[in-house]
Amino acid sequence: MAALRRAVFLDRDGVLNHDRGYVSRPEDFEWLPGVMHALRALQRADWALVVATNQSGIARGLYGPAEYANLTAWMHSELARHGITLDAVYHCPHLPDAPLAAWRRQCDCRKPAPGMLRRAARDLELDLSACVMVGDKPSDIAAGRAAGVAACIRIADAIDHVSCDIADPPADFTCANLAEGARWLLEHEQRRHA
């Protein structure tokens, strides 16, 4: 049996791109600075790259599954132009109180639930205890903790660093952007193997 792989789970809005609220079109999608470099560095270090994103805009009727799929396909092509391949993209379109009945449910995939991470582990043969979650919201960190990942990295602005609710699950590292988070992860890994 082949050895299980490790992955970096990435929230989308606020980690890969500016969170402008319910981004659904390529023309509204703006990559955050340093993302391409960070993803390439993680990929070169043999981390699988997996996006796990709540997309309640679908349940709210702000955009449909086709628009979401179109934006995801565009993301894949943009990353490919930079030599980056996402191993998978998972999304949760559900909302317990969704305006659209088709998406109204309490599910196990909407972060803070760990369903997307566990599904990725099954699909991609990942060792969750060797994986890392990167997100900008407490729900991302909570999903990582519930899935049993090795570490959680929180992307937060300077104000957020200070005003974080004490009840929020603590991250192992809090930083300003994915580039800084990737650097910490790669240096942390080097120190562990030194």
Q: Helix, strand or coil for residue 164?
A: coil
The yes-or-no verdict on residue 60 having pLDDT over 50 is yes
pLDDT band at 68 (very low <50, low <70, confident <90, very high): very high
Mean pLDDT computed over every residue of the chain: 93
Per the model's pLDDT, the better-predicted residue between 165 and 79 turns out to be 79
Rounded to 5°, the CA angle 127-131-134 comes to 150
Question: Tell me, what's the pLDDT at 192?
Answer: 76
pTM of the model: 0.93
Q: Are 141 and 168 in contact (CB under 8 A)?
A: yes
55-59: average pLDDT: 97
Identify the pLDDT of residue 1. Answer: 54
Helix, strand and coil in the chain, % to nearest 5: 40, 20, 40
CB-based contacts of 89: which residues, under 8 Å, 6+ apart?
50, 51, 53, 72, 75, 76
- Cα 114 from Cα 144, distance rounded (Å): 7
- The larger pLDDT score, comparing residue 4 to residue 90, is at 90
How many beta carbons lie within 10 A of that of residue 166, not counting itself? 5
pLDDT over 50 (residue 159): no
Percent of the chain with pLDDT over 90: 88
pLDDT category at 124 given cuts 50, 70, 90 is very high
User: What is the average pLDDT across 45-63?
Assistant: 97
Task: For residue range 15-48, list pLDDT tens digits in order.
Answer: 999 999 999 999 999 999 999 999 999 999 999 9
Answer whether residue 112 shows pLDDT above 80. Answer: yes
- Domains of the chain and any CATH numbers: 7-193 (3.40.50.1000)
Contact 18, 33 (CB under 8 A): no
**What are the φ and ψ backbone dihedral angles of 19, each rounded to 5 degrees?**
-85, 100
Burial class (CB in 10 A: 0-12, 13-18, 19+), 74: middle
Residue (of 37, 32, 1) closest to 177 by Cα position: 32
- Mean pLDDT of all residues in 138-149: 97
